[in-house]
Amino acid sequence: MKKLVMIGNGMAGVRTIEEILKLEPEQFEITIFGEEPYPNYNRIKLSNILQGDVHFDDIIINPLEWYKDNNIQLYTGEAVVKIDTKAKKVFSDQGREVNYDELIIATGSKAIILPIPGANKQGVTGFRDIKDCELMIKLANQYKKAAVIGGGLLGLEAARGLLNLGMKVDVVHLMPHLMERQLDHVAASMLKAELEAQGMNFLMEKETVEILGDERVTGLRFKDGSQIEADLVVMALGIRSNTEVAKNSGIYVNRGIVVNDYMETNVPHVYAVGECAEHREIVYGLVAPLYEQAKVLANHICGKETKPYKGSVTGTQLKVAGVDLFSAGEIHEDSTTKSIMVHNEYEGIYKKVLIRNNRIVGIVLYGDTKDSTRLFRMLTKQEDISGMTSVSILQSECSGAGNTGDDVASMPDDELICGCNGVTKGVIVEAIKTKGLTTLDQVSQCTNAGRSCGRCKPLVANILSHTLGNQFNEKGASKTSICGCTTLSREEIIEEIKTKGLTSVKEVMNVLEWNNEEGCTKCRPAINYYLGMIYMDHGMDDRDSRLVNEKMHANIQKDGTYSVVPRMYGGVTTAKDLKKIAEVAEKYHVPLVKLTGGQRIGLFGVKKEDLPSIWKDLDMPSGYAYGKTLRTVKTCVGSQFCRYGTQDSMALGIELEKKFERLDTPHKVKMGVSACPRNCSEAGIKDIGFVGIDGGWEIYVGGNGGVDLRPADLLCTVKTKEEVMEITGAYLQYYRETANYLERTSKWLERVGLKHVQEVLADKEMRIALNERLDKTLKKYVDPWNEAIQSKEIQDKYYMKHTIKVGE
């Protein structure tokens, strides 16, 4: 068996290995060296990690098990520093020597760091790998002012992520327009205006000459003498090929490692692929051409007849801070081109197609990219458009009102569906038919369509549906959709929201083609919850999509009146608060004042129009007795007064309630804290219960004291209050992210399994990440009662006197 060694564990290199395994799984003994301490991951989605949309686990393409299953020896966190091309050996920085018969160099690229004074200061980073993301997230928790040098795609993605992390962001760009390689001045100006509205500040035509500060960065100085303050500097100016090991080993290097049409270097049995390779004087930084290279190299190295790689015409499908963009070919007019343009400033849409000799040579789309695939095909195939009108060029027949532009029935088989991976409609259809594929995941695994940026997944799903016809519908019928308005499941809706950047309930229903365009009382609250869960710190709540009690922030009773239950943290109150409640009850003639089962006082029979006035007079926070959130934390008197108490249950209950109040959850959550195993607060039948023991706390989960009585399960035992808060936060966030809407913790725990949850929470890094996302979410909440008191618009819309039907 021949020995194949690959230097680099990135996307292009591992794709080459995947292709080799498809062709000749037994031909090579494979060894891979990866400089980063991770398995192969999707570098395209680093910005999603920074923006808090995904966790690192979500962007792994090939987990460690994949290497093991394919008998691949993987050395992570280990770089090759020397190649002896005569002896055919590689040497790592850990002193390891490995022989090879064939060697692939797939070392990728590195972030460009400006060679200016101060570039090595603390707080200066590139934006290229997981480590860079972790540093930015860490510094965002300590500092508030960031400067991003570079107004290209990477820079803008970094800036959006830092905004999400709560930082003030200045984007410094040398050129007069953003993304000048992909956008013309009109599209760039529209993008700049949109990003400014999101909170970014731009310093255009500024050349950075020095990074200020002593040991760590404090600011930037520009060539014109002006300065800005900065606690974090991100250099996102682009990338350069990582060629050091090749250059030091006598392999010919120009801008990249120079290769021929079969990805061969000037040294026999040594190849290069990906961002480190230079082919016909071009180094490609997009995924699609790198995967084309991978396929050619895999065939060649396996001895299969293959067409040579002749270079790529690239089209760039992007989403920058929620804005859809597409660019391909030439972007600027000249004396030989004519342009077709549409500039709809009101709807934020701009389209430009450049034409030379009756053929498309350039495309720029902003805001509406649904025709990008068709236009790109016309560009790459150099189709004669002399018989077409400007309208038919810009917009296909199937992309009018009520359609998505993805009419798969009319698409030719050579239509490019997945630009990242070069997958056409014909390849997908053939795979579905010949291999019996029935799910989107199966299609992605088989054809690679949708495995990179993921933006083509809805179109792949449409092709799957069209190809299978009734068979697809029958199989889809067994899938659990969230309601009758759609056939989509919870997971599919969440994926679509993330993939398409959908930000409102109306947009979700419109883009995902709801059967009932207005939705229903089941799906609208669910979508609203999913949006709030995904966009942790900036999601816009659609109050009218909430259930009636949450919309009114009070429980509606059977006679149309409401209840008011103010917050009493841990069931603890004061004489002052008791007096206020009594005075309000008298003033507004409240017919019933009752102690609730959650150790609070409820005012029942309140008129809707009196709610804001009562809230104002009470001057107490909402107890959320109506909400899908933390209702109460019931406590016993604890060690302060009880002779059996081992822990301070009231103090912990108050801290828990203050920390997690207002948090949106799939269903209501109740907690109980008992200072000893006598369990006076009924902690054993709560969603989360805490029982004090000598030297610590037992944490119980999944209990339910309602109709479906269920005793709680012991999750873990901890020693400190800090551990209690960390475990509880992580548990709640994991429940938020994985439960179905309106699924109680008891049902959820039975579905996912206690052991699984314990394994998740045993991972310290996972707990930290879950708590970080939870903390982001908590920052966006305000007390709804106080908000209503301050807003006449809210009072007029929701609390003016008119009839509301029970169950509305």
Distance CA 676, CA 659 (A): 23
pLDDT at 474 over 70: no
Secondary element (H or E) of residue 204: strand 201-204
Ramachandran category for residue 630: left, alpha or beta (phi over 0 → left; psi -120 to 50 → alpha): beta
Residue 449, pLDDT score: 82
Give helix 185-198 / helix 153-164 axis angle, nearest 10°.
10
Q: What is the pLDDT of residues 291-341, one digit of tens each?
A: 899 999 999 999 999 999 999 877 777 777 678 888 988 999 999 999 999
pLDDT of 615 higher than 80: yes
Tokens of 546: 């909430």
Q: What is the DSSP letter of 639?
A: G
Evaluate if residue 707 carries a pLDDT over 70: no
Q: Give the tens place of pLDDT for each residue, 443-469.
A: 877 787 876 666 677 788 888 888 887
pLDDT at 808: 34
Inform me whether the pLDDT recorded for 404 exceeds 60: no
Who wins on pLDDT, 596 or 228? Answer: 228
**Higher-confidence residue: 314 or 374?**
374
DSSP state letters, 128-150 = SSHHHHHHHHHHHTT--EEEEE-
Which of the pair, 486 or 752, is modelled with greater confidence? 752
Output the pLDDT for position 407.
65
In what helix (H) or strand (E) does residue 784 lie, and over which residues does it extend? Answer: helix 784-790
| pLDDT bracket for residue 401 (50, 70, 90) | very low
Across 446-587, where does the E strand assignment appear? 555-556, 562-564
What is the structure's pLDDT at 558?
Answer: 66
Average pLDDT of the chain? 88
Q: What is the pLDDT of residue 455?
A: 67
pLDDT of residue 485: 73
Distance, CA of 524 to CA of 520 (rounded, Å): 6
| Residue type, position 220, single letter | L
**Residues 655-672 pLDDT 10s:** 999 999 999 999 999 999
DSSP string spanning 238-286?
Answer: -EEE--HHHHTTT--BSSSEEE-TTSB-SSTTEEE-STTEEETTB---S
- β-bridge mates for residue 354, sequence order: 339, 362
pLDDT for 412 equals 82
Integer Cα distance of 233 and 146 in angstroms: 6
CB atoms within 10 A of CB 414: 12
Q: What is the percentage of the chain residues whose pLDDT exceeds 70?
A: 94
Residue 405: per-residue pLDDT: 38
Distance CA 713, CA 686 (A): 10
- Tokens 């707990």 label which residue? 767
User: Model confidence over 240-250: pLDDT tens digits?
Assistant: 999 999 999 99
Q: Give the position of tokens 């205006």.
A: 193
pLDDT at residue 496 greater than cutoff 60: yes
Is the Cβ–Cβ distance between 100 and 287 less than 8 Å?
no
List, as one string, the DSSP characters of 47-105: HHHHTTSS-GGGGEEE-HHHHHHTT-EEEET--EEEEETTTTEEEETTS-EEE-SEEEE
Q: Are 149 and 258 within 8 A, CB to CB? A: no
Q: How confident is the model at residue 399 (pLDDT cuts 50, 70, 90)?
A: very low
Helix, strand, coil distribution of the chain in percent, nearest 5: 35, 25, 40
The three-point CA angle 322-327-328 to 5° equals 155
Distance, in Å, from the CA atom of 778 to the CA atom of 630, rounded to the nearest integer, reads 12
Range list of H helices, 641-697: 649-660
pLDDT, average across residues 499-526: 85
Per residue in 263-273, pLDDT (tens digit) is: 999 999 999 99
pLDDT above 70 for 262: yes
